[in-house]
Every structure is written in structure tokens, then in C-alpha cells.
């Protein structure tokens, strides 16, 4: 079915000895032709040994954080199609072949598996559910924020189940260090206006005894900061334009009473307010200038990334065309 296409399964892991064997067994059953790569992020359990025993090539990544692992995975592995999934055995990969076929047929660069809790009907409001209420709400809020700022439409921006084309992977300048990497992956696709799609993916419970490394509030705050930083760097004209508008409105609001008093008496009795108004308007103008300059810088960066993207041929498979 995938003749002539090389497929690599890349799995970031940290202390997943209880789950990684199950994940690798599932991939060997569903996608036997794929090369299996496990990137061990300084685990203190037997993750590496279990992965090796199940036939995966194990790479040790010293710098802690999922972002650092993804950066290493994309740099080291060579393939036409990259399948990235968390090593906690929560994602159902039984539909993997159909998803890869969808990516190739549709000439997509990224396919995201949107999590659907297997127990949604019973415990959607339960904090102990597989897909916890806090994570679900935070994901919706952050995903909606990215959609409003960068355009496009995603329903599960933070999913760890993704399939990429080679030209996506080799044009992606990973910067994030931790779990905020999913935000960067999403914004990269939106920034270059790459073709992407989402598919529903069952999301189940971890194996008994294993534990999640996510922190709802800490990681949520880090993701929010990443969205803000990307807003400033990728859409500086919009960001500094908002700052300029706020400063200008505040300055005009403070200036109106001064102007009325001056027309009535010919005096400006509140000199500090007048200085504040002048400073606010000057700051607004400077903000607009900064936005315009940085917008040109951002466009140059986008053009360089797009040229790198265009320099890599699209994935083709005669059997699927």
C-alpha cells in the first residue's frame, strides 16, 4: 500500500516502561513496514530496555522536555512520513494506515488526531476521567485563542498524535523546550498556510501503575506564554497595533478635559496630565513604527521558512493516486 514511501514512527518517552511495550506492539501489528524510534528523555526506569526489547531504535536525549526531544527527533530521523505519538499508550493507533493514506492522498503536511475520550458518555464531568475536565477546558480555551490570533481551525491543538510530511518536519524550527511544543507545531502549519486536517482518535486510559507528567496549571501557563510570544514574533504589526490603539485611546480620553479647560480659560492647569498625554501619544506612534519594522522582519523569516519548505518534494505514492 505504501510502496516507495519510508515511514518513521517517532515516540518521545519519559518513564514509560509500563506503556512503551504496548505502544510498540500495536505499531508492529498495524504498521509493520515502519521504522520504530524511541527517544528516551533521561528516564529513570526501564523505558529504554523495554523499547529495545520490542525492536525499537532508542536514542537518549539529555535535555529534559518534550520540545527538546521533538527537536532531536526531527533532526536525526530521515523519512518521507513521520508518525509522532506519545509513549503512554493512551492513543488508539488502529486507524493509522487510513490516516497515513489520507495525508498522502490529500497532499497534506500535517494530520492531527483529535482526542475523543472512550468514556465521554459516563464521565465527561469527572476530574478523574481519562481526558480530565481541567485539561479539556484548558485545551479548548488555548486552541480557540490560537485560532483567533493566527487563523485556521483546530479542535485539539494539544494532541500528541500527529502525522507529518517530510517537508513539514525539515522546515520546522523547533524552539520550545517542554509541552508547549504542540503549540509551535500548530502555529508553524498556520504560519506557512500548509494543508492540514484533523481526524477523531479514541483516547483511553494509561496502563495501571503509570502516571501522567502533565500539570494542568503549570503547563497551561507555559503554553499561554508561548502563544503570547508567538503572537509578538509572528504577528508583530497586529500586536503592536493593539498596544498603539490602547495608548492612543487613553491619551485622547485624558486630553479631552484638558482641551475643554483650555478653550474656556486659555490655561492648562494640569501640566502633569498634559505631559502624560503627550508621552502616551508618542509611545503609541513608536509602537506602530516598531510593529511596522518587525512586521518586515517577520515576513522575511516566513519567506525563508517557505523557501525551505518548497525545497523539499511532496510525498507521492502511485498506489494511492
CATH superfamily, domain 7-234, is: Spore Coat Polysaccharide Biosynthesis Protein SpsA; Chain A (3.90.550.10)
Instruction: Count CA atoms within 13 Å of residue 277 on its CB side.
Output: 16
Burial label for 93, CB within 10 Å (0-12, 13-18, 19+), is buried
pLDDT in tens, 177-231: 888 899 999 999 998 999 999 999 988 877 777 777 666 677 788 888 889 999 9
Least confident of 56-60, 143-147, 188-192, 193-197: 143-147
- Residue 265, Cβ neighbours under 10 Å: how many? 9
Instruction: Look at residue 270 and give its three-state secondary structure.
Output: coil
Query: If residue 13 lies in a helix (H) or strand (E), which one and from where to where?
Result: strand 7-13
Q: Given this model, what pLDDT does residue 121 score?
A: 41
Q: How confident is the model at residue 320 (pLDDT cuts 50, 70, 90)?
A: low
Q: How confident is the model at residue 134 (pLDDT cuts 50, 70, 90)?
A: low
Is 31 a residue whose pLDDT tops 80?
A: yes
Instruction: Count CA atoms within 13 Å of residue 144 on its CB side.
Output: 6
Q: Which residue has the cell 512586521?
A: 295
d(Cα 208, Cα 46) in Å, to the nearest integer?
16
pLDDT in tens, 73-104: 999 999 999 999 998 888 999 899 999 999 99
Is 122 a residue whose pLDDT tops 60?
A: no
Q: At what angle do helices 216-234 and 236-265 cross, to 10 degrees?
A: 80
d(Cα 298, Cα 75) in Å, to the nearest integer?
24
Q: What is the DSSP letter of 239?
A: H
Q: Given this model, what pLDDT does residue 128 score?
A: 41
- Residue 11, Cβ neighbours under 10 Å: how many? 26
Amino acid at each position: 500500500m505504501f510502496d516507495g514511501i519510508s515511514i518513521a514512527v517517532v515516540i518521545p518517552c519519559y518513564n514509560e516502561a509500563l506503556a512503551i511495550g504496548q505502544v510498540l506492539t500495536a505499531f508492529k501489528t498495524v504498521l509493520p513496514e515502519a521504522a520504530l524510534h524511541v527517544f528516551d528523555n533521561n528516564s529513570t526506569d526501564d523505558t529504554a530496555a523495554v523499547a529495545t526489547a520490542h525492536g525499537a531504535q532508542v536514542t537518549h536525549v539529555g535535555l529534559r522536555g518534550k520540545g527538546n526531544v521533538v527537536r532531536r527527533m526531527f533532526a536525526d530521523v530521515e523519512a518521507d512520513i513521520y508518525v509522532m505519538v506519545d509513549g503512554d499508550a493512551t492513543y488508539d493507533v488502529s486507524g493509522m494506515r487510513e490516516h497515513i493514506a489520507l495525508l498522502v492522498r490529500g497532499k497534506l503536511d500535517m494530520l492531527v488526531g483529535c482526542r475523543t475520550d472512550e468514556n465521554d458518555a459516563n464521565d465527561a464531568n469527572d476530574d478523574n476521567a481519562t481526558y480530565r475536565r481541567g485539561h479539556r477546558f484548558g485545551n479548548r480555551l488555548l486552541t480557540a485563542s490560537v485560532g483567533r490570533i493566527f487563523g485556521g481551525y483546530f479542535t485539539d491543538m494539544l494532541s500528541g498524535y500527529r502525522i507529518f510530511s517530510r517537508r513539514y518536519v525539515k522546515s520546522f524550527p523547533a524552539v520550545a523546550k517542554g509541552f508547549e511544543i504542540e503549540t509551535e507545531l500548530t502555529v508553524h502549519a498556520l504560519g506557512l498556510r500548509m494543508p492540514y486536517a484533523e481526524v477523531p482518535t479514541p483516547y483511553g486510559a494509561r496502563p495501571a501503575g503509570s502516571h501522567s507528567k502533565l500539570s494542568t496549571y503549570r503547563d497551561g501557563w507555559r503554553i499561554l506564554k508561548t502563544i503570547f510570544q508567538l503572537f509578538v514574533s509572528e504577528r508583530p504589526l497586529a500586536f503592536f497595533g493593539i498596544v498603539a490603539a490602547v495608548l492612543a485611546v487613553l491619551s485622547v480620553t485624558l486630553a479631552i478635559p484638558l482641551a475643554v479647560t483650555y478653550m474656556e480659560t486659555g490655561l492648562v492647569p494640569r501640566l502633569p496630565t498634559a505631559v502624560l498625554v503627550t508621552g502616551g501619544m508618542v509611545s503609541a506612534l513608536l509602537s506602530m513604527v516598531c510593529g511596522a519594522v518587525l512586521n518586515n522582519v517577520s515576513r522575511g523569516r516566513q519567506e525563508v521558512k517557505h523557501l525551505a519548505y518548497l525545497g523539499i518534494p511532496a510525498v507521492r505514492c502511485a498506489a494511492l493516486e
